[in-house]
Amino acid sequence: MVSKVFEHPFDLTKVRLQSQVLDKKARFNGPIDCLTKTWQNEGVRGLYRGLPAPIVGAMVENASLFLTYREFQNLIQYVNHRPASEKPSLPELALAAAGAGAVTSFFLTPIELVKCKMQVQMLVNPPTHITKPHTLPGPISVLLSVIRTTGFRGLWLGHTGTFIRESGGTAAWFTTKEFVASLLVARRTPEGGPPPPSNQRVQLKAWESALSGAIAGAAFNFALFPADTVKSAMQTEAELRPTRLSPTPTAPGAKPPPPPPPPSFFRTFGAMYKAQGIRGLYAGCGITVARAIPSSGMIFLIYDGLSKRFG
């Protein structure tokens, strides 16, 4: 929750940059331009538009990630007939982390859908003397609107992108954190002295948790960023490009054609690559990695500190 409050304006910038890749004319020239225009046109409220959804999402995401990550580790130890206290290898940690990310993606997709739709609201309905920012739909209204329009299944629009990002990204996140942390712990061992026992989990110092977590945050976001870009474009398609989802007009009296299929991950990926190539698929990556470094460091600092206090 702490990290989401810190990073939300940068996440909003990322989503808005990702969502304009398929537009014929870009609204923003880059992250600084997006932040500046959002501040000028929408104020502080605009920078934090959609914050309730990721606050809830942060609790769900991190609770699910850390819980299932530990349980997958225990499962791997059980299958290999090893005590739970023995530290798994990096490949085993990667497998456990990928499983944790895959499970978490199912809880996270609806929350991300609501967040992304709220973050582009002002691009569709700019404020006027008639329409004020605070009159725009809130998270519950957006959620109910999606259910009315597309049913409960529609809440998982973009799930393929979330699944790829969370499973692969979480594997990179946890393994990078563990690898860097192991290097930092090794620095404590005096030259020529015995290394710490391999079957014991060494408590990290606060700065070690923060530094290893910060590096892990960069790895998470850079590893599979295009999957997140495609997901954001899919989840904001109905708001920003509704004509692409509208049925073709027919002559009077003729049978209306069936509505076009909802956006798919691979069709959207192909369209975005055709529009702007690799650059488009990495739209907003720089600011995302930059905000992930302190944010992820904060997450592991707090998590390791709480684990030490209550573990």
| CA dihedral sign, ordered 207, 211, 214, 216 | negative
Return the closest-CA partner of residue 259 out of 243, 236, 241. Answer: 243
Which tokens in the block code for residue 13?
A: 């910038």
Which tokens in the block code for residue 172?
A: 């990179």
So what's the pLDDT on residue 243?
Answer: 64
So what's the pLDDT on residue 130?
Answer: 41
Tell me the C-alpha distance between 161 and 236, whole Å: 14
Return the closest-CA partner of residue 203 out of 216, 188, 217. Answer: 188
Tell me the C-alpha distance between 294 and 215, whole Å: 9
So what's the pLDDT on residue 124?
Answer: 76
Q: 3-20, pLDDT tens digit by residue?
A: 888 889 999 999 999 999
Q: 250-285, pLDDT tens digit by residue?
A: 556 666 666 667 789 999 999 999 999 999 999 999
So what's the pLDDT on residue 225?
Answer: 95
The arrangement of secondary structure in 2-189+201-242+261-310, i.e. its CATH architecture, is: Alpha/alpha barrel (1.50)
Regions of the chain where pLDDT drops below 50: 129-131
Write down the pTM of the prediction. Answer: 0.85
Which tokens in the block code for residue 215?
A: 């590096």
